[in-house]
Each structure stands twice: as structure tokens, then as C-alpha cells.
Amino acid sequence: MKRTLPIVIAIATVTVFLMFVGLTSVGQSRGTVGINSGGALPGFSSDTSTPEKALNNFLLDVQKRNWGRAFANTDRTSDAINEQSFIQDWVGSSGGLRSFSALEHFDTRPLHATDSEAQIRVHLHWTTPVGPVEDVRDFRLRHHDDSWKVVWDETPRPNVPAQIVPVNYLRWDLVTGNGSDEWGAHNVDAPHVRIVSMNAVDSSEGVVIMGEVVNEDTVPAFVNVNAILLNGNGGTIDDESSFDKILHVLLPKQVSPYRVDFPHISLSKIKNVRMDVKATLVPASSDPVIGVMNQKLETDAQGHTVLHGELMNESGETVNIPHVIASFYDNSGKVVWVSDGYVEKALLPQSTEAFAVEIPQSVAGKVQNFHVVVNQYSLERS
Amino acid sequence: MSSSTSTAWKGHKLILALALGLLGSFALAQDVTLQVPAGLIAGNAATIGTNGSGSATFYLVGPAASIKREVELGREISLAAKDLQAAGRYVAVVCSSNCTSQVFFVAPGKPVDLSFIVHPSRAPVAENEAISGVALTFDEFRNLVVTPSTVQFQWSTKGSNPMSRSSQTREGIAWFRTSSGKTAGPLQISAAIGNDVSTRRVVQQVASIPCNLRIKGQRTAKGILVETEPIRDCSGNPVPDGTVVTFTARDGAKMSTVDAPVKQDVARATILAKGPVTISAASGVAMGNELRLSGKE
Amino acid sequence: MQTRFHKRVEFAALLLTLIAGGFWHPALAADSSPGVTLNVSKANPRQVEPLTESAILRDYKFAWGSLGAALQSNSLAPLNGPFVGEAASHLAAEVKTQQQNDLTLRYANQRHKLEAVFYSPEGDIAELHDTAEYDFEILAGGKSIHSEHAVVHYIVLMTPGADRWVIRHLQAVPQF
């Protein structure tokens, strides 16, 4: 007992010390070679003598949620911008993905600077419940009274006017029945779902199996696609599922792209691919109807090919976390790529929200057409 | 022969005699016999005859139960109907000083029950050999009746004459296959043996893929409201509610799409587009007409 | 002085005695894993797919291994999974009555020769003939009361379950 007590005290002391270090040093931006990173000082510096330092301090305040100080260091372009809308822009609202996210770190790259104005590109790295999300944003800074301030021109989202939206969406309920166990008496078949295309390609991260699946039945189906890679002997190399890269609930006659990733595997090792689609009956709803507007393939400022567009919520229910899945086709109609991306802001009723998904440069040249579907998660339905 | 050899040979003879004696003891002990009647039917009581005298232990091991009972040799051993309900292979064993066993079979009774499995539960209309059914014949105790029986299959929709087909079971199974009708609605299918045994199932005949998709639209304050005319399959059946129609609008280099479900035969969607726009629709493999709208003034 | 011939005779007699005395334990020759072969060439109206064929073979073998384990140990646990319907209820009843009567059954050196005779149009029912050969022993209170080398004909109904083919019906018949 005499020997144990000092050991316990020592362990407790070290643990508390490590916790303190961990908590106080959290949120330090990490560096990328060739790109300035945020200052890694635990103690905050109020130096805004250069655009880089001013932006760095601003983003550190955002990271630590020091909203008052961050807002004070902005140069607002409109009186409509208040601290509340500024905070909402960063933390999200209405149960959107941003509401559950945290800014893990950021990387800055100065684009240009004069004595009075500067522009800096920032890669914001968020941790979210659906995995890491990267957001690229260009910040403008202005020089005022010997200090640099971040120009804040984000207009608040327009309020959705009060209105009555009839709830007449279609719903399907599933009744399991409580009858006898007689063989053949409870004959309700699983939905008939079919894989209509499959394409296996090598990518920089491994093998990707992609294609489309259709619900040929007259009832909704919960769908999952699995792929098994086989070698020359018929043995299994690996098997994976589509996870969230598929529209899981398919209404009758609805088509969804799917994508199955096999990291660190090369196509040259694969002799055959066995596809398996599992469909089960589920309660479902055809609401909300989400339109995908103004879709356009463009090259962004970083030279990446990106599909931009806007999601429009045609229903009366908030879509908390929209998830966009896009399939890209070549001139023969073959699926050459499937991309997906989560929209960080909630999609309010009767309103729109922008989205963007990237496609690899190796594939971009082949793309002739595309189709976007929207997965969605609503807190009210969970 | 020398005396030592003679002694050794006597010893060997003794060992041999012991061994043969042991073998013989088994033969001598097999004096209890069991007389099992032939042609036993499941669910019928039976008796097994024994000979000899004294008390013994009787065991019966079957497909679904085992019995242990003290019995008197020389008397019949009664087996209740419930002891022989399961058709299959039985082993009856009687043990007194040693054990005697007899293997016998119990056959299924006459068919009084049907298991009827029909697929699919939802069949598109006008599809060749889309519906199939399998009937299995069982006796009162759910033993598979393997002797041939005639199963009558019959199917009909509301307002139509029933169609029927007879099939002989093989190893307890009969099956049929038929095409789906042209009209959506429930298809009643039954399987019957004679007049007393029948089972009914229902297959929902549902509309097939959409056919002749036509759309119309107009500009409103909220955007372009586009809707389909009532959507039917090629047999004239309205497609089920919830069938997805994809509306596509091309406005210069931009494209907008909406996946809208059919409700009461019609699918509707609102598309945001200001300039001249061309709108089309598709559902499954059916493509609709194109709609051209001029730009918003 | 014992001659070599006498020694051989003595040894043979001893061996015979041991055999007659029943000291030869069947378990010494037991093969716990059933051997199964499957012929699907006669299946109709639908052809059995290669994947289905290998699945039925695998799952039938597993089912008989489980059956043997259940009836030897008088435990219901091995029956969960490979058996449904009448097959499951019959085997469960068998185990329970065996427990009551202190009986156990042994199926050793199993060899099953399966032949598919029916495969439904939807692929959801398969009827098979099994010519099964095994060493069968009944023990009462741990003592053998019956042993035989049996050749038994079974009619088997199998249906696909969630993750395997299961035996729904297993019925012995005198002949096919």
C-alpha cells in the first residue's frame, strides 16, 4: 500500500498534465509544404499587421468559437450583417451538417496583395459525422487604420416566408402480419431490383466499381450493392459495400448510381467481379421532392473539374443533411465516374442551396452527360 | 508330440475355446425376436410381438421421438398412434440379458394438407410465364406424401373466367407456371386435391413499364410548373403511385432535373429556369415528348 | 517350448476375444465430418446454378454434422440454423425425448450421395434424394443397445434462408 500510493499519484498527475496540454493545444492548424499554415501558438497574438496574420487570428477565433472577437475583426459590407448571422454562417442552423461539425485545421495560400487589399485562399478542414470535409474559400482582406480586417460580405439567407404547404406526399407502411407460420402463406416478395450497369476502373486510390441500379418493382426498396473481387483461381481478394455512395431508398422505377471502393488494390490482380444487390421492403415516403437546378460542369479556380448546381426543396419539410450523388457518362452512355458530396447547410422548405462535386481530371475529358440524385436525412424522420 | 508341445497346444486350445465361447454366447443370447407388422401408416396404433419370457426394457427410436418402457417378453408391445405420427425409419430394441433390434418404416397417410408457394407476390401484367406455383402434399401429421396425387390448380381475376390445370405430384410435389393477365389487379390462385383440400393465394398483377409519356407545362411565379398527362402502361393500366418520373430541363449550358413521384396517375414538378428552355421527361425506359418554352419576360 | 506357429495362433485368439468382447470402440474409427456428393443433372424444371449447387452441398454437410452433434449430445443448440419447419420440430422433439429416456444416438462415418430431383422455377425449393450411409448406434445410459452399418434413403426438402440453404423436411423412405 505504501509503494502503491505514490505510483497512483504520479500516474494521476501525468494524466492531468497531458489532458491540459491536449486541451489547450487543440485546433492548431497544421502545415502543408509550400503553404503557410495558421500560427501554432497556444497563446493568441493580436498582431494584425499583415494580411496573413490577421486572417490566421480570425480563423483561430472561429476555430475556438470566440465569435465576439472574430466578428470584431471583420469589415462588414452591409448593415444587414450582424453577429448572429455571422455566427450562423459558421456553425450552421436547422440541423444542417455544419451544426455537427468542427473546424479541425486550415491551410492558407496568399493569392495576391497590395497595400490596401489582399486575397488569400484557405483550405478549411472540417471534421463531421460523415467524415472529413474540405472547403476551399477565398478571403478578401482590407487595410484599415494600421490593421488588416477580413471583408465579410456573406448576405444572410433570405427568410422563408410563412406559408401553408399541403402535406400530400405518398407514404408506404410495412405490415409484417401476425398470422400462422404456414409455409408460403406470408408471401410478400422482396423488391425486384436490378443492377443495370457495372464498370471497374483503376483510380489513384485503388479499384473503383461503379454503375447504376434500378428498382423495377412497384414498391419502395432499401438497396445495398456489394462487390466481390475474385482472382484467377476464383478466390476472394476483397469484398466491399457501397456504403453511402448509393441512394439507399429507391422509389418504383427510380435509378441510382452506386460506387464501391477498394483501396490499395490494382485492377491487374482481378480476374472477375461478382456483384450482389440486396433489396428489402421498408416503410418509405416520396417526400421531399428535391430538384437539382442549374447543373453545369466547370473548371474552378484550382483547375479542378467540378459539377455545380443548386438543390431546390419543393416540399414543406426541412432537409437537414442533403447528400448529392452524381453519375457521369461518356458518349456511349457508360458510367465513367460517380462522385458524391454532402451539403453542409440544411435545405429549408421552398428554398435552394448550392452544391458542388468534383470529378478526377483523368475522367473529366470523357464526360458527356451526367445525372444527379439527392439522398437526404431529416431529423424529424429519425 | 513332446509333452511340452502338448502342454502349449492345450493352452492355445483353451484360449481359442474361450474366444469361440464368447462369440457363441452372443449367438445363444439372440433368442428374443421382434415381430413388427408390415405396412405401418403414420398416426395408426400398432403392436410389436415378442417371444421369450421375463421382463425386458423396450426402446423405440424414431424420426421425432424415442420411447423407453418396461415390458414383459412373450407379450405384444402396444404402440400408441402418437408414437408413430412421424413417417420414416424406426428402430425397435428390446433388452433383457442382451439386446435385440428390428428396423421398420412408417409410411405417410393420405394427403389432407397442402403447402402452396406462389411467386412472385407482385407480377407485371402481360408477361410471359411470369407466375409459378409449387404445391406439396402432406398428411395429417405433416409427413410428405410421396405417392402420386392429382393437384388441381386454378386462377382467375375479378370478372374473368377461371383457368385451371391438373398436375400429378412426383415425390410429393406438383407445380405450374402461367403468364400474367393484361389487367392490373389481384389474381386469385388456388391448389386443391379433390373437393376437401384446397389452399388459396393472391398475386397482385401490377402495371408494367410506363408507355406514351406526355408532358405539358407553363411558367408561374415560382418557376416552370410541368406535369405529365395520366401515365399508363402499354396495356392501359395506370402506373402505381410513387413511380418516379425524371423531368429534365436544358437551358443553354445548364441542366436541371427533378425526380418526381406519380400521384393519382400524374407526376408534377417545379423547375427554376429563366431563359428559353427545353423540357423532357422519362420514367424507366419510356421517354416523353419535348416541351419548348420561351424565355421569361 | 512355444513354436512360432503357436505364438501366432495365440495372438489370433486373443484378438478374436477382444473383438467378441466388444472392446473395439466405434469412436476410434469415427469420422466427425460427413462426406457429401451432389448430382444436379436431373433437377427440373429449373437448372441448378453452380453457386447454388456449392451452397447446397456446403449447407447440407453442415446440417448433418449438426444433426449428429445434437443427437449425440442431446443438445438443441446445433439444430438452430440448419433446420426449419417440420425438420426442426421433429429433431427438437427427438432430442427432448432422448433426454427424458437417457438415450443418445451416434451417426459416424457419414457418407451422403445427394441427387437433386426438383428445383422450383423461382429457385426457392429444392427436393433431393439422399442415399445416406453411416454407422448408427443407439446408447442407453451410455451402453450400446443397437449398432448397425445403415444405408438409408431420405427425401429432403431444402429452401434458401437468410444466409444459407436450410433443411425443411427430412423423411426416410424404404426406397426411391
For the residues of A116-130, what is the DSSP string, one character each? SEEEEEEEEEEEETT
C-alpha cell at A254: 427510380
In this structure, is residue C103 part of a structural domain?
Answer: yes
Provide the β-strand partners of residue C74.
Answer: none
Query: CA angle A180-B129-B116, nearest 5°?
Result: 20
Q: How many whole angstroms from its chain centre is CA B282?
A: 38
Question: What's the CA gap between C84 and B175, in Å, rounded?
Answer: 22
B59's enclosing H/E stretch is: strand B55-61
Task: Give every CB contact of residue A308 below 8 A, 6+ residues apart in sequence.
Answer: A294, A295, A296, A297, A298, A354, A355, A356
A197's enclosing H/E stretch is: strand A193-203
User: Is the confidence at residue C24, as pLDDT, over 50?
Assistant: no
Other C-beta atoms within 10 Å of A93: how many?
16
pLDDT recorded at residue A39: 41
Task: Give every CB contact of residue A10 below 8 A, 6+ residues apart in sequence.
Answer: none
Mean pLDDT of B215-242: 91
User: Strand, helix or coil at C36?
Assistant: strand
Q: Which domain holds residue C43?
A: 27-173
The minimum CA-CA distance between A350 and chain B, rounded to whole Å, is 10
Report CA-CA distances (Å) from A42 to A122, B75, B258, C161. Answer: 21, 100, 49, 60
CATH number at residue C83: 3.10.450.240
In this structure, is residue C112 part of a structural domain?
Answer: yes
pLDDT recorded at residue C172: 97
Question: What's the CA gap between A135 and A140, in Å, rounded?
Answer: 16
Q: Which residue of A has its CA nearest to B264?
A: A170
The dotted CATH code for A24-152 is: 3.10.450.100
Evaluate whether A174-178+185-282 and A290-381 have a shared fold: yes
Please tell me which of the candidates B119, B121, B240 has its beta carbon nearest to residue A252: B240
ipTM topping 0.90: no
Residue pointed to by grid coordinates 452506386: A258
Q: What does the DSSP assignment read for C72-133?
A: HHT-SGGGBTTB-HHHHHHHHHHHHHHHHHTEEEEEEEEEEEEEEEEE-TTS--EEEEEEEE
C13–B87 CB contact, under 8 Å: no
**Residues of chain B contacting C146 with CB distance shorter than 8 Å:** 59, 61, 91, 93, 99, 101
Nearest to A165 by CA among A350, A321, A348, A291: A350
Other C-beta atoms within 10 Å of C151: how many?
11
**pLDDT in tens for each of the 382 residues of chain A?**
556 778 878 787 888 777 766 665 544 444 443 344 444 444 456 677 888 999 999 999 999 999 998 998 888 877 777 888 888 888 888 888 888 889 999 999 998 888 889 999 999 999 998 888 888 888 999 997 888 899 988 766 666 667 676 666 788 888 776 655 678 776 688 899 999 999 999 998 899 999 999 999 999 999 999 999 999 998 999 999 999 999 999 999 999 999 999 999 999 999 999 999 999 999 888 888 899 999 999 998 788 999 999 999 988 788 999 999 999 999 999 999 999 999 988 898 888 999 999 999 999 999 999 999 998 887 765 5
User: Strand, helix or coil at A271?
Assistant: coil
| Beta carbons of A234 and A177 less than 8 angstroms apart | no
Question: What's the CA gap between B166 and B144, in Å, rounded?
Answer: 19
Query: CA angle C135-C138-C143, nearest 5°?
Result: 115
Residue B6, class by beta-carbon neighbours within 10 Å (0-12 exposed, 13-18 middle, 19+ buried)? exposed
| CATH superfamily of domain region A174-178+185-282 | Immunoglobulins (2.60.40.10)
Nearest to B62 by CA among B92, B95, B33, B38: B92
Question: What's the CA gap between A91 and A85, in Å, rounded?
Answer: 10
| Beta carbons of A339 and A306 less than 8 angstroms apart | no
Residue B285, class by beta-carbon neighbours within 10 Å (0-12 exposed, 13-18 middle, 19+ buried)? exposed
What's the total number of domains in chain C? 1
pLDDT recorded at residue A174: 81
pLDDT recorded at residue C40: 97
Q: Which chains neighbour B (Cβ–Cβ under 8 Å, 3 or more pairs)?
A: A, C
| Beta carbons of C104 and C69 less than 8 angstroms apart | no
B243–A251 CB contact, under 8 Å: yes
User: Strand, helix or coil at B296?
Assistant: coil
**Tens digit of pLDDT for each residue in B240-277?**
989 999 999 998 888 999 999 998 899 999 888 888 99
Please state the domain extents for chain A.
24-152, 174-178+185-282, 290-381
Please tell me which of the candidates B16, B68, B146 has its beta carbon nearest to residue C155: B146
In this structure, is residue C3 part of a structural domain?
Answer: no
pLDDT recorded at residue A133: 86
Give B210's pLDDT tier (boundaries 50, 70, 90).
confident
In this structure, is residue C135 part of a structural domain?
Answer: yes
B173–C127 CB contact, under 8 Å: yes
Torsion of CA B108, B114, B115, B121, to 10 degrees: 170
A-to-B residue pairs, Cβ atoms closer than 8 angstroms = 103
In this structure, is residue C16 part of a structural domain?
Answer: no
Task: Give every CB contact of residue B219 below 8 A, 6+ residues apart in sequence.
Answer: B225, B293, B296
Bond before B238 cis per omega within 30 degrees: no
Q: In one letter, which amino acid is A90?
A: W
B88–C140 CB contact, under 8 Å: no
B240–A371 CB contact, under 8 Å: no
A296–B256 CB contact, under 8 Å: no
DSSP state of A97: G
User: Is the confidence at residue B10, as pLDDT, over 70?
Assistant: no
Question: What's the CA gap between B158 and B185, in Å, rounded?
Answer: 8
Task: Give every CB contact of residue B77 below 8 A, 6+ residues apart in sequence.
Answer: B47, B48, B49, B50, B58, B69, B71, B92, B94
Other C-beta atoms within 10 Å of B172: how many?
25
| More confident site: A378 or C77 | C77
Nearest to A355 by CA among A302, A303, A312: A312
Nearest to A250 by CA among B166, B151, B259: B259
Give one word for B284, left, alpha or beta, with left for phi > 0 and alpha for psi -120 to 50: left
| Beta carbons of A81 and A156 less than 8 angstroms apart | yes
**Tens digit of pLDDT for each residue in B76-119?**
999 999 999 999 999 999 999 889 999 999 999 999 999 999 99
Please tell me which of the candidates C86, C121, C145 has its beta carbon nearest to residue B142: C86
Nearest to B56 by CA among B36, B82, B31: B31
Q: In the CATH hierarchy, which fold is given to the domain comprising A290-381? A: Immunoglobulin-like (2.60.40)
Question: What's the CA gap between C58 and C47, in Å, rounded?
Answer: 18
Helices (H), chain B: 3-29
Q: In one letter, which amino acid is C135?
A: D
C153's enclosing H/E stretch is: strand C143-160
**Residues of chain A contacting B207 with CB distance shorter than 8 Å:** 218
